[in-house]
Protein backbone atom coordinates (compact mmCIF):
# COMPACT_ATOMS: atom_id res chain seq x y z
CA UNK A 1 0.00 0.00 0.00
CA UNK A 2 1.53 3.29 -1.03
CA UNK A 3 1.72 5.91 1.67
CA UNK A 4 1.26 9.61 0.97
CA UNK A 5 2.27 12.89 2.56
CA UNK A 6 -0.19 14.64 4.83
CA UNK A 7 1.68 17.96 4.81
CA UNK A 8 1.80 21.03 2.56
CA UNK A 9 5.04 22.34 1.03
CA UNK A 10 5.07 25.24 3.51
CA UNK A 11 4.61 22.92 6.50
CA UNK A 12 7.45 20.72 5.28
CA UNK A 13 9.77 23.71 4.97
CA UNK A 14 8.79 25.15 8.34
CA UNK A 15 9.52 21.83 10.04
CA UNK A 16 12.75 21.22 8.13
CA UNK A 17 13.91 24.65 9.26
CA UNK A 18 13.45 23.42 12.83
CA UNK A 19 15.61 20.38 12.04
CA UNK A 20 18.19 22.78 10.56
CA UNK A 21 18.14 24.76 13.82
CA UNK A 22 18.99 21.50 15.60
CA UNK A 23 21.81 20.84 13.13
CA UNK A 24 23.28 24.25 13.95
CA UNK A 25 23.32 23.30 17.64
CA UNK A 26 25.44 20.27 16.73
CA UNK A 27 27.72 22.51 14.67
CA UNK A 28 28.30 24.80 17.64
CA UNK A 29 29.61 21.75 19.52
CA UNK A 30 31.97 20.85 16.63
CA UNK A 31 29.73 17.88 15.87
CA UNK A 32 28.83 16.93 12.29
CA UNK A 33 25.80 19.23 11.79
CA UNK A 34 22.78 16.95 11.58
CA UNK A 35 19.46 17.76 13.22
CA UNK A 36 16.07 16.10 13.50
CA UNK A 37 12.59 16.68 14.87
CA UNK A 38 9.49 14.52 15.30
CA UNK A 39 6.10 16.10 14.61
CA UNK A 40 2.65 14.89 15.61
CA UNK A 41 -0.58 16.74 14.82
CA UNK A 42 1.39 19.83 13.83
CA UNK A 43 3.34 19.94 17.10
CA UNK A 44 7.04 19.23 17.59
CA UNK A 45 7.20 16.39 20.12
CA UNK A 46 10.88 15.53 19.86
CA UNK A 47 14.09 17.34 18.92
CA UNK A 48 17.65 16.12 18.58
CA UNK A 49 21.05 16.92 17.18
CA UNK A 50 24.08 14.75 16.60
CA UNK A 51 25.99 14.27 19.85
CA UNK A 52 28.29 11.38 18.97
CA UNK A 53 31.56 13.09 19.88
CA UNK A 54 30.25 15.00 22.88
CA UNK A 55 28.79 11.88 24.48
CA UNK A 56 31.23 9.37 22.90
CA UNK A 57 28.15 7.22 22.27
CA UNK A 58 27.81 5.72 18.77
CA UNK A 59 24.01 5.68 18.99
CA UNK A 60 23.56 9.40 19.72
CA UNK A 61 22.36 10.41 16.26
CA UNK A 62 19.92 13.32 15.91
CA UNK A 63 17.02 11.05 14.91
CA UNK A 64 17.50 8.68 17.85
CA UNK A 65 17.44 11.53 20.36
CA UNK A 66 14.34 13.05 18.73
CA UNK A 67 12.52 9.69 18.57
CA UNK A 68 13.33 8.88 22.21
CA UNK A 69 12.06 12.29 23.31
CA UNK A 70 8.89 11.85 21.25
CA UNK A 71 8.19 8.42 22.81
CA UNK A 72 8.67 9.92 26.25
CA UNK A 73 6.42 12.88 25.41
CA UNK A 74 3.48 10.76 24.23
CA UNK A 75 4.14 7.95 26.73
CA UNK A 76 4.18 5.32 24.01
CA UNK A 77 6.69 3.56 21.78
CA UNK A 78 4.15 3.88 18.95
CA UNK A 79 4.47 7.14 17.04
CA UNK A 80 1.87 6.36 14.38
CA UNK A 81 0.86 9.36 12.29
CA UNK A 82 4.06 11.13 13.30
CA UNK A 83 6.53 12.71 10.90
CA UNK A 84 10.31 12.63 11.16
CA UNK A 85 12.27 15.54 9.70
CA UNK A 86 16.02 15.14 9.41
CA UNK A 87 18.63 17.20 7.59
CA UNK A 88 20.53 14.15 6.28
CA UNK A 89 19.17 10.84 4.96
CA UNK A 90 18.86 8.37 7.87
CA UNK A 91 21.50 5.65 8.36
CA UNK A 92 20.34 2.02 8.90
CA UNK A 93 20.12 2.51 12.69
CA UNK A 94 17.93 5.59 12.39
CA UNK A 95 15.78 4.30 9.52
CA UNK A 96 15.35 1.14 11.63
CA UNK A 97 14.39 3.10 14.75
CA UNK A 98 11.87 5.11 12.75
CA UNK A 99 10.34 1.85 11.49
CA UNK A 100 10.19 0.39 15.02
CA UNK A 101 8.47 3.55 16.29
CA UNK A 102 5.94 3.24 13.44
CA UNK A 103 6.67 6.74 12.15
CA UNK A 104 4.49 7.28 9.08
CA UNK A 105 6.32 9.98 7.16
CA UNK A 106 10.03 10.67 6.77
CA UNK A 107 11.34 13.90 5.24
CA UNK A 108 15.04 14.41 4.79
CA UNK A 109 17.18 17.18 3.30
CA UNK A 110 20.39 15.89 1.74
CA UNK A 111 21.09 12.40 0.42
CA UNK A 112 23.87 10.36 2.06
CA UNK A 113 25.27 8.37 -0.85
CA UNK A 114 27.81 6.57 1.37
CA UNK A 115 25.52 5.42 4.17
CA UNK A 116 21.89 6.36 3.53
CA UNK A 117 19.25 3.73 4.23
CA UNK A 118 16.17 5.59 3.03
CA UNK A 119 16.96 5.57 -0.67
CA UNK A 120 20.72 5.70 -1.33
CA UNK A 121 22.32 2.34 -0.48
CA UNK A 122 19.01 0.70 0.36
CA UNK A 123 15.55 1.75 1.43
CA UNK A 124 14.54 0.24 4.76
CA UNK A 125 11.74 2.78 5.16
CA UNK A 126 9.70 1.49 2.21
CA UNK A 127 10.69 -2.21 2.36
CA UNK A 128 7.37 -4.01 2.61
CA UNK A 129 8.96 -7.18 4.00
CA UNK A 130 9.08 -5.39 7.35
CA UNK A 131 5.93 -4.88 9.38
CA UNK A 132 5.95 -1.12 8.98
CA UNK A 133 6.82 1.20 6.15
CA UNK A 134 6.69 4.93 5.60
CA UNK A 135 6.18 7.68 3.09
CA UNK A 136 9.67 9.04 2.31
CA UNK A 137 10.42 12.42 0.74
CA UNK A 138 13.96 13.52 -0.03
CA UNK A 139 15.31 16.99 -0.77
CA UNK A 140 13.21 19.17 1.55
CA UNK A 141 15.44 22.27 1.79
CA UNK A 142 18.05 19.88 0.46
CA UNK A 143 20.52 22.55 -0.63
CA UNK A 144 20.59 24.26 2.77
CA UNK A 145 20.92 20.92 4.56
CA UNK A 146 23.69 19.78 2.23
CA UNK A 147 25.56 23.10 2.46
CA UNK A 148 25.65 22.81 6.26
CA UNK A 149 27.61 19.57 5.85
CA UNK A 150 29.90 20.57 3.00
CA UNK A 151 30.80 23.84 4.81
CA UNK A 152 31.49 21.91 8.02
CA UNK A 153 33.81 19.41 6.34
CA UNK A 154 35.58 22.14 4.33
CA UNK A 155 36.30 24.08 7.52
CA UNK A 156 37.43 20.90 9.26
CA UNK A 157 39.89 20.14 6.46
CA UNK A 158 41.21 23.72 6.57
CA UNK A 159 41.68 23.57 10.36
CA UNK A 160 43.51 20.25 10.08
CA UNK A 161 45.74 21.60 7.30
CA UNK A 162 46.56 24.69 9.36
CA UNK A 163 47.28 22.58 12.43
CA UNK A 164 49.58 20.31 10.44
CA UNK A 165 51.42 23.31 9.01
CA UNK A 166 51.83 24.84 12.48
CA UNK A 167 53.06 21.62 14.06
CA UNK A 168 55.59 21.15 11.24
CA UNK A 169 56.92 24.69 11.63
CA UNK A 170 60.52 24.54 12.98
CA UNK A 171 60.42 27.96 14.67
CA UNK A 172 57.60 26.91 16.99
CA UNK A 173 58.13 24.86 20.16
CA UNK A 174 56.63 21.36 20.19
Active-site residue list: 63
- Determine if residue 91 is labeled as part of a ligand binding site: yes
Nearer to its own copies, 37 or 141 (CB): 37
SS (H, E, C) 4-22: CCCCCHHHHHHHHHHHHHH
What is the distance between the alpha carbons of residues 16 and 12, in angstroms, rounded to a whole number? 6
Q: How far is CA 75 from CA 39, 42, 71, in A?
A: 15, 18, 6
Residue ranges in contact with its own copies by CB under 8 A: 52-53, 55-61, 64, 67-68, 71-72, 75-79, 91-97, 99-102, 114-115, 117, 121-122, 124, 127, 129-131
- Identify which of 81, 5, 83 has the alpha carbon closest to the alpha carbon of residue 37: 83
Q: How far is the CB of 124 from its own copies (least distance, A)?
A: 5
Q: How far is the CB of 158 from its own copies (least distance, A)?
A: 23
Q: How far is the CB of 132 from its own copies (least distance, A)?
A: 10
- Determine if residue 71 is labeled as part of a ligand binding site: no
Start-to-end CA distance of the chain, whole Å, equals 64
Q: Which residues are annotated as a binding site for Zn(2+)?
A: 61, 91, 94
Amino acid sequence: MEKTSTLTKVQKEVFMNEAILEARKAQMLQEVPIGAIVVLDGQIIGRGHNLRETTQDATMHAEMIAIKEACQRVGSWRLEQAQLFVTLEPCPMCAGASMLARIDEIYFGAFDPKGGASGSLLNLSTDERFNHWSYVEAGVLGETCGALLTDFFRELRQRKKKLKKTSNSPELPL
